[in-house]
Amino acid sequence: MNAIQLDPQGGLDALVELLLADGFRVVGPVVTGGVIAYDDLSSGDDLPTGWAVEQAPGRWRMHETGDQTRFGYTPGAASWKQYVFPAHQEVLRIRRTDGSFAVTRPPAPERPFAFIGVRDCEVTALEVLDRVQLDPDYPDPRYAERRRDAFIVAVTCAVPSATCWCTSMDGGPVPQHGFDLLLTELNDSDGHRLLAESGTDRGAELLARLPGSLATPLDRSAAVAVGAADTDILAPKLSGKELPTLLAGTELHPHWEEVADRCLACSNCTMVCPTCFCSTFTDHPELEPDVASRTQEWASCFQLDHSNLGGRPVRASVSARYRQWLTHKLATWTEQFGTSGCVGCGRCTTWCPAGIDIVQETLALIGPAADRDNTDRDITDRDITDRASDHRDSGHRASDHRASDHRDSGGPGTA
């Protein structure tokens, strides 16, 4: 891994400029309408300067810090999903001709994406989404086109938010892989600078063209310190990889009804989630005779008609819909795709108008670690912390852990 020091202003300007010149559509965080959102960048100046974000269940507030910090906030309001898997897209257009049909499809995007400011949870979220959308048996060609050659500029999280829980889900503040470049913002006695490291050959190639000086071992250790900060927030809240086992058997738990009293079935959680992939296709006959189009839109398991079978919903109650969502994300996804469906970004919790907190609801369902009927092996916070750091050290990711790895660990639901 090559590494250089970049000027937080000039370095980012050059980065955006070079990526644009290389033919990428460059997207990154911007301040708009009271939030950090992702949008097209035309220069490094478009990236926020001096903003901090406070997140809590159902609450997002930002304020200016008055300093020159470039990445002092946590993931944006919406995720990168919106680019690789748009909320609304035309899939095809059909015109009836003499005795036949002419089908046209929208062209593939002209330029590959370059995403700047991708956090560890977001790198993982893209990989989780890849497993779904690029499944060899059922690949989504539109997703493949949009995802192809995407250049990832990842960023170390220096200031996690109160809703972050990546360390419970095998992640952490420091992206370990899946990026072309990694930026870590340093601000210490050696000054305000960005440490830029490459993760791929094309990352190294770009790094060589950026206007920076060689990084020192001190910069490296400063970067490690950034990743280790804020341990209070980032202390694992539960053990993500145990959840398939722990949630099995909670189907009839009274807590589902308790959540349903508060849940508005509004679908915000699934829409902001970087991995929720449900969509629906709609056919539209056009006013012009003999023309029809087909569109694909994001859908949600919180919509009543989402579970329609034979015109009737299978999951009519909101408790059944919430249960479907939570258990799919945290448990059955693993069986289906080999990873958890959750990366612990906390968006569903922050952006739930009712402030429903995925971690707290899960804890209510599985009970505190000490109370669990887990005779073979009690899961303690200590275990979880140790395991989380083991995974980081060995570079293991959620994707390396199958439910089967711990099926016979003696947890409830496997008896």
Partner 1 sequence: MTRPTVAVWKFASCDGCQLTILDCEDELLAIAAALDFRMFLEAGPEEMLDHFDISLVEGSITTNHDAERIREVRERSGIVVTIGACATAGGIQALRNYADVEEYTRHIYARPDWIDTLATSTPIAHHIKVDHELHGCPINKEQLIATITALLAGRRTPVTSHSVCVECKQRGTPCLLVSEGTACLGPVTHAGCGALCPSINRGCFGCFGPSESANLPGLLEVLRVAGNDEHEVLASLRTFNVTKFDTGATP
Token couple for 231: 């341990």
Give min distance, CB of 337 to ligand SF4, in A: 13
Give min distance, CB of 335 to ligand SF4, in A: 17
Residue with tokens 């097209």: 40
Q: How far are the Cα atoms of 264, 320, 363 from residue 255, in angstroms, in the given order? A: 16, 11, 10
Interface ranges with partner 1 (CB under 8 A): 33-35, 37, 58-61, 77-78, 82, 87-88, 261-268, 271-272, 282-289, 292, 297-298, 300, 302-305, 318, 350-355
The one of partner 1, ligand SF4, none whose footprint includes residue 342, by CB under 5 to 8 A per kind, is: ligand SF4
C-beta of 229 vs 354, nearer to ligand SF4: 354
The CA angle 151-80-143, to the nearest 5 degrees, is 75
C-beta of 198 vs 267, nearer to ligand SF4: 267
C-beta of 33 vs 217, nearer to partner 1: 33
C-beta of 239 vs 268, nearer to partner 1: 268
Interface ranges with ligand SF4 (CB under 6 A): 263-269, 272-275, 302, 329, 342-348, 352-354, 356, 358
Q: What's the one-letter identity of residue 73?
A: Y
Pair 151, 114: CB distance under 8 Å: yes
Residue with tokens 């063209």: 209
Residue with tokens 């990084």: 215
Give min distance, CB of 242 to ligand SF4, in A: 16
The one of ligand SF4, partner 1, none whose footprint includes residue 288, by CB under 5 to 8 A per kind, is: partner 1
- The string of DSSP letters for 11-35 reads HHHHHHHHHHHTT-EEEEEEEETTE
C-beta of 352 vs 388, nearer to ligand SF4: 352
The one of ligand SF4, partner 1, none whose footprint includes residue 364, by CB under 5 to 8 A per kind, is: none
C-beta of 92 vs 354, nearer to ligand SF4: 354
Pairing of β 35-40 and β 113-118: unpaired
- 374's CB contacts (< 8 A; 6+ apart) are 410, 411, 412
The one of partner 1, ligand SF4, none whose footprint includes residue 87, by CB under 5 to 8 A per kind, is: partner 1
Residue with tokens 């810090």: 65
Give min distance, CB of 211 to partner 1, in A: 34
Q: Closest Cα to residue 57, out of 275, 219, 251, 269?
A: 269
